[in-house]
Amino acid sequence: MVSVVLDNIAAGLSAPQIIQAYPTLAPEDIQACLEYAAELSHERIVPLSAAV
């Protein structure tokens, strides 16, 4: 559902419009999607040890 919300925001819809289209969502859900996307955009590098 995160991608649906983000696609709608990218298409120019406002949070109220998204909630109208998806009435099971609340404003807090829209905010959570934005926070999640922001966290992903930080592009942190997590070093992994090489398995031998």
Flag whether 26 is in a domain.
yes
* pTM, rounded to two decimals: 0.76
Who wins on pLDDT, 49 or 26? Answer: 26
Where in the sequence is the domain holding 24, given as residue range(s)? 2-40
Tell me how many domains the chain contains: 1
Torsion of CA 12, 16, 21, 27, to 10 degrees: 110
**Counts of helices then strands in the chain (DSSP H, E):** 3, 0
Who wins on pLDDT, 45 or 12? Answer: 12
SS3 content of the chain, % helix, strand, coil (to 5): 60, 0, 40
Q: What is the pLDDT of residues 33-46, one digit of tens each?
A: 999 999 888 877 77
Flag whether 36 is in a domain.
yes
Averaged pLDDT score across all residues of the chain: 91
Flag whether 45 is in a domain.
no
Flag whether 50 is in a domain.
no
